[in-house]
Each structure stands twice: as structure tokens, then as C-alpha cells.
Structure 1
Amino acid sequence: MNLLVEKIKNAALNMGYEKCGIIKISDMSGYEEKLNERIQRIPEVKPYYEGFYRFARLQDTYPWAKSIVICVRQYGKYHIPDHLKGLIGKYYLVDSRRDENSEDFQDSLKFEAYLQEIGLKTAAERKFGITAFRWAALKAGLGLVRRNNFFYTESGSWVHLEAWLIDKELESVEKPTLKECPKNCNLCIKSCPTASLSEPYTMNRLSCISCLTTFEGWDLPNEKFNSQMGSWVFGCDACQDVCPMNKGSWRAAEEFPGLTELSEHISLEKILEMDYTFLEKVMQPKFWYIGKDDVWRWKTNAINAMVNDYKEQYGEYIRCASNDSNEKVREMAQWAIGKLNL
């Protein structure tokens, strides 16, 4: 093994990453074909995916880049408060991409600093990524993509991917030993509440609950899938929770910083009672897919969840929300009152 490659991989493992691989920039070219296939299957998503072509054409933006260091980090090691399961997607509860208090975030900074210390020029993007992570990890042989579109290692799909562009042509590719999905298994497809996951390796983001609770779903009273959204207010774990390849892979051995304390403030009722200062200063930095100007969406999502699994105690909270300072929340509450005959 090239000495520089060995240094990089050892550093990654020493800083808590489960796996580390290195691929050539040219290995991303095949991603464009996969992107074309996705758009052909679901043409209506084309406007959302057109920006992804840059992931296959990295040297247009980074002409100096020659390789990609791709790392896998397990997040299925944290304790998740029981009352948040089915309410908020687990990944978002332990998302370290912008959480400076987390060890994962600090290790990411340290690893990038190390790459630079050994003479490499680097580029990274911690929010949504500098390239197509799953494709890069697949090309590096770090695991495989299963029928629910998620990337799996021996730790299941409860893993986070990170990548850095570097200016040296290096390569370190493994041979994955994971078994493929059972031939007749379609549990993930059957479990998708909105049929967004309509066939293997195919997902329509316009009907995905994780998108409907964050990037889409702006008009929930008229949303086609509002009832199928169930109790989810941010994200969705349905297709991962049901996957046999995830059985026993979550090991809640550690506490994610601040999660237990924050969880005490979160329930459907408490979301409706949250003032907008708390939503903007506490909830938004943690769950940053919803912007500061749109934190009212927490309340509309919560009302929708209350309607879908109505309990008598929800009535007073919904009626109170009909006087909320935000027009969208008032409209949602009035819709719920009419639908539930409150």
C-alpha cells in the first residue's frame, strides 16, 4: 500500500471512522448515468436533480482535484429517547454535520487538518456534501446500496458519509463482503407510507415523507399525502427500520451531546406551545433543513401528526393554535378543527 494512502486510512480509523477509501475523480463519471436513469424513471424530479450533475463533473469546479477520500462513520451507536422514535428521523437527532459540540464534528475537522498537514490540498462541504457520497463509497468498496437507496456497511444503514477532494492521485478500494438483499425481499417498498419508494433503487422525493416534512409539504391541508405522513414531523425511518439487514445493528451505547436535554422539550403538544424564539434559536440550528423563516412548519407538521393519530387531549392544543401569530399555523389549525369536528 502506498505510504500516503496508509497514513490517510490509519488517521481516519484513529479518529473514529469505521472505514475509509480513496477513489480517483474519474470514478465519479458513472454517477451521471445513474442520475439520468433516476430522472427517466421519475421525470417530475428533474428540476431537483439537475444540480447534482456537478458531482460527476468535479474538475469543472475543482480543476486541481485528482482523488476523493470517502469515509464512513457509524451513528447507530447513540441512545434515542423512546418518545422521539416515529416523530423525528434518528439521523437528524444525532446529525453532527453542523453540531460543533459533537465529537463527530470535531473529529471531522481534525481529520481534514491532518490531510492538510501531510501536504494535501483539500475541499469539502459539510452540509450536503461535495460529491455524491453513496456513489463514491460504493466505488471505494466500503459497502453497498440496498433497495431502499441507503448505503450499508456491517453497521447497517445507520452510517454517515463524508468526503474530501484532494490534489494527489491515490487509490484504495476494498472488496465488500456484505450479502446482497434477499431476492424476494420487498419489505422496504411495502413499508413506504407514500409509495415514494415505488421499486428497488427508486425514490420520488416529491412524495418522500423526509422531504414532505422539510423541503416540500408547504401546504399540508391540501397535500395529497398528508394522512400517509402519519406521526412524522421531521424525517422518516420507515424503510430503514423494517429492513432485515438493519436487524440488531443499532447499538445505543453512547449519549449524543445535548439530545436528552433537548428531547424533554419535544412532543406534539410541546411543539405547538413553542414560542418562535425557541424554534429559531434552539430547534432550527439543530434541525436545519427547516430555515429560520420557516420554523412555523414545526407547528403545521405537528398538527398534521395530531390529526393522523388523534387523541382527545390534542383538541385544546389545536384550538389554541388557531390563534397562533403565524397565518399558516392558523390555517392548519382551522383545517384540523374542521376535519376532526372539534
Structure 2
Amino acid sequence: MDSLAKQIKNAALNMGYEKCGIIKISDMTGYEEKLNERIQRIPEIKPYYEGFYRFVHLQDTYPWAKSIVICVRQYGKYNIPEHLEGLIAKYYLVDSRRDENSEDFQDSLKFEAYMQELGLKTATERKFGITALRWAALKAGLGIVRKNNFFYTESGSWAYLEAWLIDKELEAIEIPKIKECPEKCNLCIKSCPTSSLSEPYTMNRSSCVSCLTTWEGWDLPHEKFNKEMGSWVFGCDVCQDVCPMNKGTWNAEEEFPRLSELSKQISLEKILQMDYTFLENVMQPKFWYIEKHNVWKWKTNAINAMVNDYKEQYREYIFHACNDSNVKVREMAEWAIKKLNL
């Protein structure tokens, strides 16, 4: 391994990353074939996936880029408020990508600054990644992708990936020592609430509960999978929770900044009572997949969850939502009343 590559890798590990690898830009070429295969399997996802082709031709945008530094950081170290399990996916509760109060976010800034101090030009995108993160991590040998499409290290799938382009050709490749999924195991596929995960390594974005609660599901009364969405209001953990390879990998030892305080203000009932100032100024910056002008979606998702697991205590909140200032929320509440025969 080149001494500069070793310096970068050691710095990443010292800053809390579980793993760090470096690949050449040319290693992204094979991603195009995989992208074509997925679109051929599920043609309806083509509009969503076409934008990913830019990852194959990174040098069109960054002609100076020669390598990709890819890092893995575990988030399965944080305490998750018990009452939010099954309501909001764990990843989003401890998402540090834009949270400046998070030590993980600050370490990311420090790591990039360190590479720049070494004389490297860098570029990154902290929200969704500057390249195809799982493919880059796979090519760097940092772990494997399992049947549920998630990237796994020895510590399970409770990890997020970060990548930087750099202007020097370096390489730091590992050989993963992780067992593949058992051939006959299909727990993740069987457990997927909407069958979005229909076969190994294949997922239909338009029916995934995580997408339905964030980027899709704008008309829940007429949504085909509103019942299958269960109690989820933001994201979904089902296929990771049932995975045998995740058993015992969540070691809650740390508190994520401000999560405990915020969690006290979140429940299905409290979501329906939230005013739009709170939704826009507190909830949206934390759970930023739902944009500020669409924060009403929290309330429609909450009503849907109430319908799917109805308790008499929800009645007054649903009726109160009939007077909400947003028409979508009012329509959802009226639909729920009819659906439940209240």
C-alpha cells in the first residue's frame, strides 16, 4: 500500500471510522452494468435510477478526480428511544449527515480537512453521496451487499458510507472476511411488508415503505400499500431487523445529540398536534427527506399508522385533524373516519 494511502486510511480509523478504502475512478465502470440489470428487472424504476448513471462518468464533472476514498461508520452504537421503534427507522433518528451537533459530522469535516492538508484536492456530497457508495465500498473490499440490498461489515448493516473524490491515483483494497448470505435464507424477502424486496438484491423503490413514507405516498387514501405500511411514519427497518446477520450487532452505548429530548415530543398523537412551525423548524431539519413545504406528510403518515393499528385513544386526534389547516390532512382524517366507521 502506498504510504499516502496508508496515512489516509489510518487517519480515518483514528477519527472513528470502522473501515476505509481507496479505489481508482475506473473501478466504477462495472456499476453501469449493474444499474442496467436492475432497470431491466424492474422497468418502472427507470425514471428514479437514470440519474445514477452520472456515477459511472464522474470525470465528466470532476475531470481532476483520480481516486475515491470510501469510509464506513457504524451508527448501531446509539440508544434508540423504545417508543420510536417501528415508528421511525433507526438510521434517520441518528442521521449525522447534516447534523452539525454530531461528533460523526465533525469527524467527517476533520477527515476531509486532513486530506486537504496532505495536499489533496477533494470533493464530497454529504447528503446522498458523491458516487454510488455501496458499489465503491464493495470494490474496496470493505464488506458485502446482502440479499436485502444493504451493505454489511462484520458489525452488520447498521452503518453509513461516505466518499470523497481525490486528485491522486491511490489504492487501498481489503479482502472481506464475511460469510455470504445462506443460500436458502429469504427472511428479508418474506418479511418485506409490500414485497418491494421481491427477490435477492432487487428492490422496487416505488413500493418500499421507506420511500412511501418520505418521497412517495402523497395520496395515502388511494395508496395501494397504505395498509402494508403498518405503523411506520418515516422509514422502515423490517428487512434489517429480521436479518440473522444483524443479530447482536446493535450495541447501544452512546447518546445521539438531542435525540432523547426530541423523542419526548414524538408519538402518533403528538404528531397530529404539532403546529406547522414546529414541523418546519424542528422536525424537518432532523428528518430532511420530507421537504419543508411537505411537512403535512407527517400527519397523513401518522393517521395512516393509527388506522393500521387502531386504538380508541386515537379517535379524538383523528377527528381533530378534520380541522387541520392543510387540505391533505383533512382529507386523510375524513378517510380514516370512514375506514374505521367512527
**Do Structure 1 and Structure 2 share a fold, with TM-score over 0.5?**
yes
User: Runs of 5+ in structure 2 lacking a partner?
Assistant: none
Identify the residue that residue 54 of structure 1 maps to in structure 2.
54
- Distance in 2 (CA, whole Å) between partners of 1:75 and 1:27 is 27
Distance in structure 1 (CA, Å) of the matches to 2:59 and 2:96: 28
Map of 2:340 onto structure 1: 340
> Separation in 1 of the partners of 2:266 and 2:154?
32
The residue type equivalent to 2:73 in the other structure is: R
- Tell me the distance in 2 between the aligned counterparts of 1:219 and 1:128: 26
Distance in 2 between residues matched to 1:56 and 1:19, nearest whole Å: 23
Q: Spell out structure 1 runs of 4+ moving beyond 4 A.
A: none
Following TM superposition, by how much is the alpha carbon of 1:2 offset from its aligned partner in structure 2, in angstroms? Answer: 1.2
Paired residues in the alignment total: 342
CA distance in structure 1 between the aligned counterparts of 2:70 and 2:128, rounded to whole angstroms: 14
Residue 25 (structure 2) aligns with? 25
Offset at residue 3 of structure 1 (A): 1.0
Match of 1:199 in 2: 199
In 2, Cα distance between the equivalents of 1:105 and 1:66?
25
| Unmatched 5+ stretches in structure 1 | none
Which residue does the alignment assign to 1:3?
3
Which residue is 1:279 aligned to?
A: 279
Amino acid at match of 2:174: E
Deviation track 1:255-292 (CA, whole Å, cap 9, x = no partner) reads 00000000000000000000000000000000000000
Deviation at 1:207, TM superposition (A): 0.2
Instruction: Report the counterpart of residue 189 of structure 1 in structure 2.
Output: 189
Who is 2:109 aligned against? Answer: 109
- The whole-number CA distance in structure 2 between the counterparts of 1:104 and 1:204 is 31
Q: Tell me the CA shift for residue 253 of structure 1.
A: 0.4
Aligned to 1:231: 231
The 2-side partners of 1:2 and 1:195 are apart by: 46
Q: Give the 5 Å matches for 1:112-127.
A: 112-127=112-127
Matches within 5 A, 1:127-166: 127-166=127-166
Give, in whole Å, the separation in 1 of the partners of 2:173 and 2:73: 17
Shift of 1:98: 0.2
- Alpha-carbon separation, structure 1, partners of 2:113 and 2:179: 36
Provide, for residues 4-37 of structure 1, a one-character-per-residue CA deviation record: whole Å limited to 9, x for no partner. 0111001000100000000000000000000000
Return the alpha-carbon distance in structure 2 between the equivalents of residues 13 and 193 of structure 1. Answer: 37
- Length-normalised TM-score, structure 1: 1.00
Match of 1:173 in 2: 173
* Residues in 2 aligned to 1:48 and 1:193: alpha-carbon distance in whole angstroms: 21
**Aligned residue type for 2:290:** I
Alpha-carbon distance, 1:121 to partner: 0.3
Letter in 1 for 2:232: W
Aligned equivalents of 1:57 and 1:85: distance in 2? 39
For residues 319 and 154 of structure 1, what CA distance do their matches in structure 2 show? Answer: 48
Does residue 67 (structure 1) correspond to residue 67 (structure 2)? The answer is yes
Cα RMSD (Å): 0.4
Letter in 2 for 1:85: E
Which amino acid in structure 2 is aligned with residue 320 of structure 1? H
Offset of residue 42 of structure 1: 0.3
Q: Paired residue for 1:306?
A: 306
Q: Which residue of 2 aligns with 1:253?
A: 253
Query: What is the CA-CA distance between 1:309 and the residue it aligns to?
Result: 0.2
Could you state the TM-score of these two structures normalised by the residue count of structure 2? 1.00
1:305-342 CA-partner distances (Å, limit 9, x unpaired): 00000000000000000100000000000000000011
Write the letter of the residue equivalent to 2:307.
V
Does 1:95 pair with 2:95?
Answer: yes
**Corresponding residue SS for 2:161:** strand
Which amino acid in structure 2 is aligned with residue 330 of structure 1? R
For 1:142 and 1:175, locate their aligned partners in 2 and report how far apart those are by CA, in whole Å: 7
SS of 1:141's equivalent in the other structure is: coil
Are 1:294 and 2:294 matched, yes or no?
A: yes
What is the distance in 1 between the residues matched to 2:125 and 2:325? 36
Q: Which amino acid aligns with 1:186?
A: N
Q: Which residue of 2 aligns with 1:219?
A: 219
SS in 1 for 2:95: coil
Q: Percent same amino acid at aligned positions? A: 84
Structure 2 residue identity aligned to 1:148: N
Equivalent-residue separation in structure 2 for 1:84 and 1:167 (angstroms): 43
Distance 1:287 1:119 in 2: 35
